[in-house]
Amino acid sequence: MAEEKKLFKVTIDNISVEVEPGTTILNAARQIGGDIVPPAMCYYSKLQGSGGKCRTCLVKVSKGSEADPRPMPKLVASCRTTVMDGMEVANITSPEVIEARKGVVEFLLLNHPLDCPVCDQAGECHLQDLSYEHGVSATRYEFKRRTFDKIDLGDHIQLHMTRCILCYRCVFTADQLTEKREHGILGRGEHAEISTYIKESLDNDFIGNVIDVCPVGALTDKTFRFKNRVWFLKPVDAHRDCENPKCCGKTTVWLRGNEVFRVTARKDQYGEVEAFICDTCRFEKKEATDWVIEGPRKISRASVISQGHYVGTVQPKETIEKVLDGRKPKLLMDIHSVSQVNRPDIDLSQIDGPAHSDDFNKKGVQ
Amino acid sequence: MNFWERMYLPAIIKGLGITFKHLFRKKATVRFPEEKRQFSPVFRGLHILNRDEEGRERCTACGLCAVACPAEAITMEAAERKPGEEHLYREEKYAARYEINMLRCIFCGFCEEACPKEAIYMTETFAPANYQRKGFIYGKDDLLIPDPKAKA
């Protein structure tokens, strides 16, 4: 019997949408899009079993369903709650939800060091966005924040456990993408921390994706560490023929001039990667010739990364050579003769890890 | 015009009177190199990079001054602090290179406002004049204040 599948009608912030049974409230909201989508720190649509940990996506269900119109007694995590027919949900229209989210942000920031000036994730950090939009500017926490030493997870990944919000995304990524999971969460509650057994190095073809799924700066790319701020780089879509059959080879390459500073997967509007990429693409291919560049990556106008990147500009033609009968204008000063920054003899992007004092001093002037 | 007005003399004398009166008034200008006018406390002059009370550099090369700069005068390159350099730099990341192009700078003070580490300040001095463009590229050795501990 070819029976038509019944769609559930759900109303979120007075906007109705029909979705398939089994959809979560969060995904129903994403089908509508816009401001009413609850923020999510731990839910990741590409990872099975993710969600339900951070509580930022809390919403109020003011009407359970058509059959049982009672409201749900407490706020529910929208990434884990499936829709019912006739359900009515309030997200940004409910002051209760806004207030609860403020509390959640305060909780997430309890142990967060707020070292954004040092952190490489600053500018593309979901916790930054979340606390900017929903948080309060001061903390009421009076105790010492928990601190950890930074740990190297393999050659290319740096773990700053102090910044971690325990979203478990990286654990799911390692579990589902790589053949062997080597890291997990040790301890419980206040003492929980991401770790590998006896700091065993993470060594897998796809383990670099934990950097992309990390919503904060807890897992960062060591080949990019302290090299540049993300908002000074120009993200472009690029691809290469990757030998790895599981890797799509479609990435975002972060350029400064002709230097490839960083390679990441392409992220959609919710900060989730479109397709996972392998570690060879991510860490090894730092030459502009390795990549076929497709064009500039679209970045939301609200992001600091898009500052100074103008769309649809037409550059005026250089007329000076025409006026001077083909002679070149006389250069009054070559900036490299004075400037110590961006020296042509130091390729920061080619240095393996973060630059140190000797990288700058080995050739010539201090 | 009557006769007196056609003479122009009263008007000339009146004008000269105003000129002479100004000779004995308080002068609006100062004789600059000898005499210096006091700056207002909010004057935005030449930049300095500050150190903390232990003499460590405060700047962590977060790039907020450079992104706030409307003239794009500030550039920097960051480096990681090595073990043993803790007495030099306050945080694990620091500016190995920090440069302000004073030809570009418009002294708006946005960098000072943007700085989360209280590292860059604008002082009450001018950028001195120079015969060449070269002299206006200020590196870290020009901007960083001397170590207060080294002097003592």
Same domain assignment for residues A24 and A93: yes
Contact A360 B77 (CB under 8 A): yes
- Answer yes or no: are the C-beta atoms of B74 and B111 closer than 8 Å: yes
- Looking at residue A365, what is its pLDDT? 44
Query: Which residue is associated with the tokens 């579990």?
Result: A175
Beta bridge partners of B89: B57
Question: Does A106 have pLDDT greater than 80?
Answer: yes
Same domain assignment for residues A212 and A238: no
Beta bridge partners of A186: A193
Phi, psi of A239 (to 5 degrees): -145, 165
More confident residue, A199 or A353: A353
What size, in residues, is chain A?
366
User: Which positions ≥6 away from A68 have C-beta within 8 Å?
Assistant: A84
The architecture that CATH gives domain B47-151 is 2-Layer Sandwich (3.30)
Beta bridge partners of A88: A11, A63
Reported as a pLDDT band with limits 50, 70 and 90, residue A150 is confident
Instruction: Establish if A282 belongs to a structural domain.
Output: yes
Q: Would you list the domain boundaries of chain B? A: 47-151
What mean pLDDT is predicted for residues A284-295?
Answer: 90
Q: Of A169, A199, A221, which one is at a domain's C-terminal end?
A: A221
**C-alpha span between A281 and A76 (Å, rounded):** 39
- Looking at residue A257, what is its pLDDT? 84
**pLDDT tens digit string along A3-48?**
667 899 999 999 999 999 999 999 999 999 988 999 999 999 998 8
Q: Of A201, A221, A241, which one is at a domain's C-terminal end?
A: A221
Shortest CB distance from A339 goes to which of B79, B116, B137? B137
Same domain assignment for residues A265 and A302: yes
Write down the pTM of the prediction. Answer: 0.84
Q: What token pair was written down for A18?
A: 């029909």
Same domain assignment for residues A98 and A18: yes
ipTM for this prediction: 0.81
Q: What token pair was written down for B117?
A: 């580490």
Measured between beta carbons, the chain B residues lying within 8 angstroms of A353 are 80
Q: Of A221, A249, A265, which one is at a domain's C-terminal end?
A: A221
As a three-state string, the secondary structure of chain B is: CCHHHHHCHHHHHHHHHHHHHHHCCCCCCCCCCCCCCCCCCCCCCCEEECECCCCCECCCCCCHHHHHCCCCCEEEEEEECCCCCCCCECCCEEEEEEEEECCCCCCCCHHHHHCCCCCEEECCCCCCCCCCHHHHEECHHHHECCCHHHHC
Reported as a pLDDT band with limits 50, 70 and 90, residue A181 is low
Q: How many domains does chain A have?
A: 4
- Residue A129's identity, in one-letter code, is D
Q: What percent of chain A has a predicted confidence (pLDDT) above 70?
A: 93
For chain B positions 68-87, those within 8 Å of chain A (CB to CB) are 75-80, 82, 85
Same domain assignment for residues A152 and A216: yes
Instruction: Establish if A130 belongs to a structural domain.
Output: no
**C-alpha span between A24 and A28 (Å, rounded):** 6
Same domain assignment for residues A103 and A62: yes
Instruction: Establish if A23 belongs to a structural domain.
Output: yes
Instruction: Establish if A336 belongs to a structural domain.
Output: yes
What CATH number did the domain enclosing A88 receive?
3.10.20.740
Distance of CA A206 to the CA centre of its chain: 17
**Cα-Cα end-to-end distance for chain B:** 80
Same domain assignment for residues A92 and A64: yes
**C-alpha span between A267 and A264 (Å, rounded):** 8
Question: Does B49 have pLDDT greater than 90?
Answer: yes
**What mean pLDDT, rounded, does chain A reach?**
87
Q: Is B134 on the interface with A (CB under 8 A)?
A: yes
What CATH number did the domain enclosing A216 receive?
3.30.70.20
From A342, which residue of chain B is nearest by alpha-carbon distance?
B77
- Answer yes or no: are the C-beta atoms of A156 and A219 closer than 8 Å: no
> In terms of residue numbers, what domain contains A283?
230-306
Same domain assignment for residues A195 and A248: no
Instruction: Establish if A123 belongs to a structural domain.
Output: no
Question: Does A198 have pLDDT greater than 60?
Answer: no
A47 to each of A26, A177, A276, B124, how far by Cα in Å? 15, 9, 11, 56
Q: Is B100 on the interface with A (CB under 8 A)?
A: no
- Looking at residue B32, what is its pLDDT? 84
Task: Please tell me whether residue A236 adopts helix, strand or coil conformation.
Answer: strand
